Structure 1
C-alpha cells in the first residue's frame, strides 16, 4: 500500500511537470507572435507559393461553397517576393522526345524604392548601394558588381548607355532598384541557367549579340534587373557580344503603338476604378484617419498613392511612417491592400480591362509569335530573348492570354514562352508546341488559346498553331473585329 508521503511526492512531481509545460507553451506563443509582428515570417502558409507542375492525373474536385477570402497579409508578402528561399521553376521541363527551340522571357523589375512619398513623413531609409556582406545577398553578387564595371565594352542604344548599370545611392532615389531587387533577378537567372544552359544547351559558349537579345525600357531599374538576370543566366558573359536595345514604350509595342481605341478602353477602366474607390466607405475612413495622423488634407494623401510607399515599408520590415499627430497603422495598410484586391476582383468581373489588355498586349505577342516562327524555320540566331519591363507591361499580357486570375505581377515576376519541336527517330521532326510559364508555374492550359486542348491526347503540349491563330485572329473576337488595325481605329460594334 502506497504511503501518504509517497503520494504527496508524486503529486508534487506531476504539478511541477504541468507548470513546466505551461511555461514552454507560453514562451513558444510569445516567440511566434513576435516573429509575425516583426514581419520575420508570413502569417499565411508559404507552401502555396511553390510552383506546381502540370499533373497528368485526373483530379476529382472536392465540393465547396465559396472560395476562401484572399488574405491581404499573404498577398502583400507574395508581392514582396522576399528572396529567403531557393527559387524553383518548371521552365524547360518538357516531355521526353521534344527539343527546345526558343525561349522568350518578359520580367518585371525587382524590388525598388517607392515612386511616391507620403507627405510630411520621413522617407524610408534604404541603402541602394550593393554590398555582398549585407542581406539579402547572393553568392554571385560580388562577381556581378565587378562584371558590371566592364560594361563599357557592350553595344548600347544611346538612352540605355547613359544609365548606371548598378544602383549606387546610399540613400535610395525615387524608383531606384534595391539590393533585394538585384538578388531577386540573380536568382531568376540562376534558375533559368540550370535548365536552359546546363540541361538544354540552348545557347552556345560565347553567344553572339543576335543569339542573346536584351531589350529594356529607359529606366535604370529595368536595365539593371535585366543585367542581373542575364548574369545569373550566363555568368561572366562577353560584353563585346552583347547588344542592349531600348524600348521607348512600356507596352513594348514597337511600331504598333498608334492605337486610339486602346486609350479609350483605358479611360473607361480608370473611371470604373474611380467609382469603385469612391463607393468604398472603409477606404474613405482609412484615408481620412491617415491624413489626420500625418497632418495633410485627405485629397493630398490620396494623390500621394500611399500604398506604394507602405508596401516598401512592409517588404523591408520597416515601421510604418509617422506624422505630427500619429503613425500609420498596420490595420490601415491592410485596408488599402484589401481595396487593391477588391479592385482586381471587380476588374475581372466587369471585363473593361480585358478590352484594353488585348490591344495593349497584341504587338508584343505578335513579336513573340514571329520570333517563334523564325526559330521553327531553323534560324538559330535568336534562341533566347529577354524583355525587362514593368507591372503595367506584364499585367495586360497576362490578361490578354486569359490568365486574368493569375496573381498581379510581383517584384521580379517572370513570364516565359517556350517553343518545342517533337523529335521523330529517323525523321525530320514532328509538330511544334508552345508552353507558357508564370513565376515558374506551367499555366499553358489555363490560357485562352489552349484551355480546351485535351492534355490526355497524344499531344501532351499545346500545339503552336493554337497560339499563332490566337495572336493573328482569335484574340480580336471579344472586340468584334478581325485585325489589330481595325480594333485600334474603330469602335467595336
Structure 2
C-alpha cells in the first residue's frame, strides 16, 4: 500500500512538473503556439452568403487534412479588415537573447481597384482621411499632421513628388484607402510594442540605423509611412531618407536575369491553360457577361475579381445594371464571385505542383535576400570579433514597402509555398538574435587562485515571421535543422549558406549568375 501511494505521488508530481515546463517553454516561445485572433462576425456583401468567424486561431498556413477551403472565407481573410485584436510573435525569444536587427517587407494596405467593370458604377469609396470615419486609429490624427512636415525629410527621386497621404474624395484607381492606412498604423504599432523592451535603437537614433525603401506607387509609399509612424511615432523627418526601388522585385542593380523571365513566361502559360480548362469558370464568366450585356472576352479583360474584392472588403453590394429590352441586366452575385475565387485557390495548388513559379521566385528574390543576408552578416561579424555594433554604424531596422508580386515570390523563395497568398498589409519579418555569452572551460588554478577562462561571444540566429506567426522552421534553410529545446532558434549560417549557394540547387546551379545566364538545353 505504501509503495502504491508513493508511486501515485510521483505520478502527480511528475505531471505537475511537465505542465509547468510546458507553460514555461510556451512563454519563451520555445514551443511554437499560434496566437489567438478575435474577429467579429461578418456578413456577405449582397446579403446572400455570410460566414461567422468569432474567435479563431490565425493561421498563415491552411490547416491540413480538413475540408476544402471556403472561397468566401478566404476572401475575407485577404481583406484583412482591421476590426480585430491581434497578438503576434515578433520580439519573442529565449531569455537573455539580444535582438540585433529587424528587416521587414510589407505589402501595401487596402486599395481601390486597379480595374473597373464595364457598364457598372465604380465603388463609392472616399479616400480622404478622417478620424470620424471607420475604420480609424488613435494615431490617425497625429499621423495626418506629421505627414504635413514631410518636406523636412530626404526623398530619392521621384518620391518627392508622390503624395504622402491619399487625398481624393472619390478614390482614384489603385489609391490607398483609409482602411489601408489604418492597417499599417496597426502593423507598425504592433511591432513598436513587440520590440520596445529590446531597445533595438536609442531614442537619438542615427540616420544610418533606419533604412526605408519603396516603389514609386503612392500606395506603397503611403503604406510604408503609415507603418513607420506606427512603429516610430513622431519620428524625426530630418534623419529619414526614403529610397526608391524602381522594380517591384527590389532587385536594385541586379535585376537582369533572362532565366527568371523565361520561368515567368512558362508559369503564365500554365495559369492560362488551367483557367481555359475550367468549364465552371467559363460558364460563370458567360453568365456575368450576359448580365452586364458584354462580350465574355471584354469582361475577362476587365479582371472583375479585383473590383468585386473591393466591394466585398468594404461591405458594398455587388454591381448591378438595369434590365434592358434585350433581357440583359441584374446584379453580379456572391456565387459567381465564389467560383472565381475557387479557381484562384485551385491555381495556387497547381502552381506548387508545377514548380515553375518556385524557380521564378528563387531568381526573382535573390537580390533582396542577398542584401538582407549581407546586412545581417556585417552585424554578426562585428559580434564575433568581440565588439558591439558601433553606434549609428549599421542598419538595425529595414522597411521595404512592396506589392503582392513582391511578397508572394519572397514566400516561395523561402520555401513557404504552403503559406496563404499575401493579404492586404501582409508582412514578413526577419529578426537577427544573439545568444548569451558562454563560458568555455573550467575554473583553472593559477598561482593558488581560481581563474575562469574567457567568455565566448554569443552566436547569431535568425527568425522569420509571416503575419505575426513564427515560420522559421518551415523555411527551406531551417526545415531540416535539428531543433533542440536548449537551442530553439535557427543559426544565421543556415540562412547565409542558403542565400549564397543552396537556393540555386532548384535550378541546377550554384550561383545567381550561372542560374540567370546559362542557356536552356
TM-score by length of 2: 0.83
The answer to whether the Cα contact below 8 Å between 1:223 and 1:388 also exists between their aligned partners in 2 is yes
Classify the secondary structure of the residue corresponding to 1:199.
helix
2:210 aligned residue (199, 212, 215): 212
Q: Which residue of 1 aligns with 2:350?
A: 346
- Distance change (3 Å), C-alpha of 1:345 and 1:34: closer
Report Cα offsets for 1:428-462 as digits up to 9, x if no partner: 52211000000000000000100011222532100
2:380 alignment partner in structure 1: 376
Corresponding residue for 1:18?
none
- Residue 99 of structure 1, CA deviation: 0.7
The residue matched to 1:245 in structure 2 has which SS? strand
Q: What is aligned with 1:465?
A: 493
Residue 453 (structure 1) aligns with:
481
Q: Is the 8 A contact 2:99 2:434 kept in 1?
A: yes
CA contact (8 A) 1:51 1:440 kept: no
Matches of 1:37 and 1:141 in 2, distance apart? Answer: 27
Counterpart of 1:265 in structure 2 is: 263
* Offset, 1:52: 9.1
2:318 is paired with a residue whose SS is coil
Q: Deviations over 1:137-195 (max 9, x none)?
A: 00010000000000000000121110000000000000000000000000000000002
Of the candidates 222, 227, 233, which is equivalent to residue 224 of structure 1? 222
Work out the CA distance in 2 between the residues paired with 1:421 and 1:301.
54
C-alpha distance in 2, partners of 1:92/1:165?
A: 29
C-alpha RMSD of the superposition: 2.1
Describe the shift of the 1:217–1:138 C-alpha distance in structure 2 as closer, same or farther (beyond 3 A).
same
Structure 2: unaligned runs, 5 residues or longer: 1-39, 323-328, 383-388, 440-454
CA distance in 2, matches of 1:296, 1:279: 22
Q: Distance in 1 between matches of 2:458 and 2:165?
A: 45
Shift in alpha-carbon separation, 1:46–1:473, aligned structure 2, 3 A: farther
Residues in 2 aligned to 1:33 and 1:143: alpha-carbon distance in whole angstroms: 30
| Structure 2 match to 1:406 | 419
User: Are 2:245 and 1:247 aligned?
Assistant: yes
Residue 52 and residue 265 in structure 1: after superposition, are their counterparts in 2 closer, same or farther (change >3 A)?
Answer: closer
Residues 227/121 of structure 1: CA separation in 2 closer, same or farther (3 Å cut): same
1:490, distance to aligned residue in structure 2 (A): 1.4
Name 2:320's counterpart in structure 1: 322
The yes-or-no answer on 1:417 pairing with 2:417 is no
Report if aligned partners of 2:473, 2:479 keep a CA contact under 8 Å in 1: yes
What is aligned with 1:363?
367
- Contact 1:42/1:77 (<8 A) preserved: no
Equivalent residue for 1:85? Answer: 84
Aligned positions of 1:6-405 closer than 5 A: 35=43, 43=51, 45=53, 47-50=55-58, 66-196=65-195, 198-324=196-322, 325-378=329-382, 379=389, 380-405=393-418
Give the 5 Å matches for 1:479-490: 479-490=507-518
| Contact preservation (8 Å) 1:269, 1:352 | yes
Q: CA deviation at 1:491?
A: 4.0
Shift in alpha-carbon separation, 1:40–1:443, aligned structure 2, 3 A: farther
Q: CA deviation at 1:479?
A: 0.5
- Number of positions where the alignment pairs a residue of Structure 1 with one of Structure 2: 451
Residue 472 of structure 2 corresponds to: 444
Q: Distance in 2 between matches of 1:274 and 1:433?
A: 42
Distance 1:479 1:45 in 2: 42
- State whether residues 184 and 227 of structure 2, in contact with CA within 8 Å, keep that contact through their aligned partners in structure 1: yes
- Deviation for aligned residue 1:47: 4.3
Q: Is the 8 A contact 1:481 1:492 kept in 2?
A: no
Q: TM-score, normalised by structure 1?
A: 0.88
Q: Equivalents in 2 of 1:45, 1:184: separation in Å?
A: 19
Equivalent residue, structure 2, for 1:25: none
Contact 1:52–1:442 under 8 Å retained in 2: no
C-alpha distance in 1 between matches for 2:110 and 2:121: 20
**Counterpart of 1:377 in 2: which secondary structure?**
helix
Distance 1:241 1:276, change over 3 A: same
Partners of 1:103 and 1:384 within 8 A in 2: yes
Q: Matches of 1:33 and 1:382 in 2, distance apart? A: 42
